[in-house]
Structure 1
C-alpha cells in the first residue's frame, strides 16, 4: 500500500517504463526520503555475517557498491574494541551507578525526538550521541577522531523529516543494541522484502529468559561506558522501551520516566513514512517491496506497544513517571519542560531554559506533515487502539475523523528521491 502523501508531478510514460525496467533488473536504488549511510558499519564482522546469512545474502546489484564498502571498515571494529576494552573496561565495570537516568518513551513519531533534543540542551545532563550508538564497541577510544571520516556520508536532515542529523546529536540507544548483535525490530531494515523480524524484542513477550538476560547484559555494558564517558545523568530515548518496563525497572529502579502520547491518527501514517524511508535507505536489497505487509505490521506493533505499557506502567513508582500528550507539550514546550523538571526532580531548570529557548527558536520554521487516510483504515486504527485512544483523550478527534467524508482511495505515492 502506498504512502499517504501528495503525488509528485506526472512522469513521462517512456521514462516511467524505463525506470521500472531498471528497478526490476536491480540497477537503480530507490531512495525514499533521500540517501543515508548504512548503519551496518558499526557491527563487528561476525555480527554482520550473521545479518547477511539471515537474509540469505539476497543482495540486489544496486546495493553491491555500498555493501562492499562495509568490508573496508567493519573488520576494524573488533581490534578497536579490544584496545578500548583494554583501556576502559575495568573503569567502566567498577563505576558506581548512582545517577539514575531519565527515559523518554512513546511510540515512534510521538514527539520523543523533540523532547530528547530539549533535554540535550541542559549542560547538567548527557545523552547517547549518534556516533556512540552507531559505534558502541569503541566510541570511548575513537569518538572525536573518526567522526569526520563518516560525517561526510551523513545527510543534513533525517530522511523521514527535516530534523538535523549529526554524529554529535542525540540518538536512540536501540541502534547501539543493533550494532552489538542484540535482537531488535530495527533488523527489519536489512532485508525488508522478507518481512518483519525480531518483533518479540518490542516487549520481550515470548522470548526465552536467556535471550532477555542477554539483551539486558548488553544494555548495561553500553550504559556503563556511556556513564564513563559523560559522568552525568543520562537521558535515554528509545520508543519501544515503554514496552520493556519489566526489564528496565529492574535495571534502573530509581529511573525517571516521561511517556509521550499522541493522536494515533497522526502517529500511524507518520510511522509508515518513517519505515518506508529507513527500509529503502538501509535495505541490502532494493527496492524494499514492503507494501504488502507494512500497514498491518505498524498497527500490530502499535497495539502490542500500548498494551505492554498499560500492563506494566505500575512498575514505575508514581512519583517517577510523568505522562504527557504531544498536543499539550508543543503548545508551550518550555513550560512543559519546566513542569517535568519539577515533577521528576531532575535539577535546576533555569540553567537549561535559555539554551532550550534558543533551540526552539532555531527550529521555529519546522513544519509538521499532514496526512489523510482512508476511512476503512481510520476505523481499523480506532478499533485496535481504543483503550489507548480513550485513556489519553483522543476519542473526540477520532470520532471527528470518522465522521468526515472520505474516499476510500489513497493518495498516490510521492515519488522517491
Structure 2
C-alpha cells in the first residue's frame, strides 16, 4: 500500500502561507509546510511500505463491522467512546499511534517503551509527561488529551495534510474544507478511504485481528457515505446534545487554539469562527440524513443527557441497536461507570453572545432536532437557574 498524501491540500496550504501578511506567521508556516511536513511524510511512506514486507501476516487481517462514533464536537462523543473502549473486544487508536501510522513505527515505540521501563527507570516516560503538560495544558479543561489516550482517527491524516486538525493551527476555514468528503470526486474519496482502511488493518494486527475497530470522530459527520462505501458492514453511533452548549464550546476551543499561535489576525479568526458556525449546523443535520439513505446500516442514537445520567442503560441500548452482546466483564465495567456518573460535576458553559450567536438563529436552523430531543425544556430550565443566581 502506498502512503496517502493530499498534494492538492498541501499546495493550497503553501499558497495560503505564502500570502500570510504577518511575517512571523508566514515564516513559521512555510518552514512547517516546506520542510517538516514533507520530511515526516517521507518517513511515514517508507515505513508504511516496509510493513507489508516485515509483517506478512498483515495481509490476512480483515476489518469486520467497525463502529464509528460521530456527532457534533462536545456532544459526548469522547465519553461514549471511552465507555465503549471498556469492552476489550474493541480496538482503538491512541494519540501517538495516530501520529505514527505504520506498523513498524508502532512496534518500535513499544520496544523503546519496554526498554525505558526495564533499563532506564522510566526517564523517557517522565520527559514525555512533561511535554504533554506543555503541549496540551492550555486546553485540557476543554478537551483532555494525552499521548496514550484514545483520540480521533482523523489525526491519521495529519502528516498527509488531509486532517481537520490543521484547522486548530490555521484559521483558514473559508479556504479549506475537511468536512464535505462525501462531495469529493469518487476517485479522490476512495483513495483517501483506502489509506484509512490500511491504517485500521495495521492497528488490528497490533491489538488483535479478532477485535472490532472503534472510531470516534466528530469531524467525520460529513463522510458517512464514504465510510459506508469503504466499510459496507459499518455500524454508527450518533451523539446529540443541546447546541446551545456544544457550538459555543467548540468555538471556544478553536479560538483558544488559534490565539495560542500568537500571530493570527483577529479578522481571520472572526471569519473562521463564522464559517465554523455554519458548518456546525450541517454537522447536526447531515449524519441522520445520510443514514436514512441506508436503512440497512445499524445505527444507535444517543441523547447526551441520558448518557451522563444513566450510562449503563444507554450503552446497553446501543449494543441492542448494533446487534452486539455484552460480556459479564463489560457489564461489571459499566456498573463502576454508573457509580462514577453519580459524582459527575457540571461542565463549563460558554456564552453564545461571545461569538455573536443568538439562540433564535440556532433554534430556527435546527428546529427538527429541538422538537425531537425537547431541548427547549432544557433551555427554559437553564434560564430559570441563571435567574435564581442573579
Q: 2:18: which partner in 1?
A: 56
After superposition, residues 155-170 of structure 1 pair within 5 angstroms as: 155=133, 159=139, 161=141, 163-170=143-150
Is residue 200 of structure 2 the alignment partner of residue 238 of structure 1? no
Q: 2:117: which partner in 1?
A: none
In 2, the alpha carbon distance for the partners of 1:242 and 1:150 equals: 32
Contact 1:105 1:238 in 2 (8 A): yes
In 2, the alpha carbon distance for the partners of 1:234 and 1:67 equals: 36
Is residue 371 of structure 2 the alignment partner of residue 390 of structure 1? yes
Contact 1:160 1:277 in 2 (8 A): no
TM-score (norm 2): 0.77
Q: Which runs of 5+ in 2 are unaligned?
A: 114-123
Is residue 276 of structure 2 the alignment partner of residue 314 of structure 1? no
In 2, the alpha carbon distance for the partners of 1:330 and 1:258 equals: 16
In 2, the alpha carbon distance for the partners of 1:45 and 1:249 equals: 25
In 2, the alpha carbon distance for the partners of 1:74 and 1:142 equals: 21
Identify which of 154, 168, 172 aligns with 1:174.
154
Shift of 1:110: 0.2
Shift of 1:270: 0.7
Q: 1:186: which partner in 2?
A: 165
Q: 1:86: which partner in 2?
A: 50
Q: 1:99: which partner in 2?
A: 64
Over 3 Å counting, the alpha-carbon distance change for 1:73 and 1:191 in structure 2 is: closer
| SS state at 2:301 partner | strand
Over 3 Å counting, the alpha-carbon distance change for 1:286 and 1:356 in structure 2 is: farther
More helix per residue: 1 or 2? 2
Contact 2:65 2:234 in 1 (8 A): yes
Q: 1:140: which partner in 2?
A: 106
After superposition, residues 116-127 of structure 1 pair within 5 angstroms as: 116-127=81-92
In 2, the alpha carbon distance for the partners of 1:46 and 1:140 equals: 28
Relative contact order higher in (CA < 8 Å, ≥ 6 apart): 1
Over 3 Å counting, the alpha-carbon distance change for 1:66 and 1:118 in structure 2 is: farther
Q: Which runs of 5+ in 1 are unaligned?
A: 1-42, 407-417
Shift of 1:115: 0.9
| SS state at 2:300 partner | strand
Q: 1:369: which partner in 2?
A: 348
Contact 2:47 2:105 in 1 (8 A): no
Q: 2:190: which partner in 1?
A: 213
In 2, the alpha carbon distance for the partners of 1:352 and 1:157 equals: 32
The total of aligned residue pairs comes to 360
In 2, the alpha carbon distance for the partners of 1:168 and 1:304 equals: 31
Shift of 1:362: 6.7
Shift of 1:126: 1.4
Q: 1:278: which partner in 2?
A: 257
In 2, the alpha carbon distance for the partners of 1:358 and 1:289 equals: 47
Over 3 Å counting, the alpha-carbon distance change for 1:65 and 1:302 in structure 2 is: closer
Shift of 1:329: 1.2
Identify which of 256, 261, 275 aligns with 1:297.
275
Shift of 1:294: 4.2
| SS state at 2:187 partner | helix
Q: 2:116: which partner in 1?
A: none
Shift of 1:78: 2.9
Deviations 1:225-259 (A, max 9, x none): 22222222111010132332211112222222111
In 1, the alpha carbon distance for the partners of 2:196 and 2:213 equals: 14
Moved more, 152-161 or 294-303: 152-161
TM-score (norm 1): 0.72
In 2, the alpha carbon distance for the partners of 1:77 and 1:178 equals: 9
Identify which of 323, 335, 339 aligns with 2:301.
323
In 2, the alpha carbon distance for the partners of 1:141 and 1:77 equals: 18
In 1, the alpha carbon distance for the partners of 2:142 and 2:262 equals: 24
In 2, the alpha carbon distance for the partners of 1:376 and 1:63 equals: 31
